[in-house]
Amino acid sequence: MQIFRNKLIIIGLIFVVLMLGLYFSGFDKSGWLKFNRNNNDNNIDSQIEKLFAFKMVRTDLTPAFNEKYRNEMTVYKDTVLESPEKFNFNAFMGAAMVKYTVGDYDGARDLWLYVNQIRPSSSPSFYNLGNLYADIYKNCAEAEKYFKIATTNDPNEIAYLRNIFDFYNTKCPNKPLAEAALKKALAIKSDSVDFMVLSAEFYRDQGNKEEAIKYYEQAIKLSPQNQALKDEYNKFKSGN
């Protein structure tokens, strides 16, 4: 019994040592680097200062908005600096959106890429990068790559599928993949009037009258008070 108890004590000590080793080795369970502020303050702060640097690129914003977004960035940066041992997802995502809003697209990209490394199973940062590469950088291949990761990580997010449909339908045309996005969305949310109408318009534009009528009628059934939709359907059906 004493030998067994001693073994338990030894195992317990080994476990404690391993946990301490993981703690001081630099990473917590989120994957965020645990900074040693006593030994590496300047390096830590310089990294954060660089990531959270405010750069106003747009010229159409008033001084009041300039100050507003500058202050928001300062708050996000200070939040991270106050607790660098914790990865603050909201601070990084908020700062990235500020950068995007003021036209610092490369800065927003860098923050989202950083979040991707720390939270590879998350989806918003990948989705935002997809939009960035589609709308700003006009890089279809990169946009598609990030959209695919976002929908893999969160396959039931309807908002993602809505934008991915637009991406394949107009921005980087691939009609079969646009159609697939519509079908997937309706498989998730079969009572979505928005996706019913999108499907009707998609098939209308593709010259598939039978499918277009089917989805128009389903949309009207779900939204019988929508007179504009009825008018659109009647106009299409009559061939006018």
pLDDT tens digit string along 65-84?
999 999 999 999 999 999 87
Which pLDDT does position 118 carry in this prediction? 93
Question: What is the percent of the chain with per-residue pLDDT over 90, rounded to a whole number?
Answer: 76
What share of the chain in percent tops pLDDT 70?
A: 82
Q: What is the 3-state secondary structure (H, E, C) of 78-122?
A: HHHHHCCCCCCHHHHHHHHHHHHHCCCHHHHHHHHHHHHHHCCCC
Mean of the per-residue pLDDT values for the chain? Answer: 86
- For 182, other C-beta atoms within 10 Å of its C-beta total 23
pLDDT given at position 47 = 85
* pLDDT over threshold 90, residue 187: yes
Please give the DSSP secondary-structure letter assigned to residue 1: -
Minimal CA–CA distance to 130: which of 116, 148, 117?
148
Check residue 223 and report its DSSP letter: -
Under DSSP, the state recorded for 27 is B
Q: Say if residue 181's pLDDT is above 50.
A: yes
Query: pLDDT at residue 112 above 70?
Result: yes
pLDDT of residue 239: 82
Q: Is the pTM of this model over 0.85?
A: no
Please report which confidence band the pLDDT of residue 240 belongs to, taking 50, 70 and 90 as the band edges: low
Average pLDDT over residues 20-47: 49
Residue 110 and residue 147: Cα distance in Å, rounded?
17
Express each pLDDT in 194-218 by its tens digit. Answer: 999 999 999 999 999 999 999 999 9
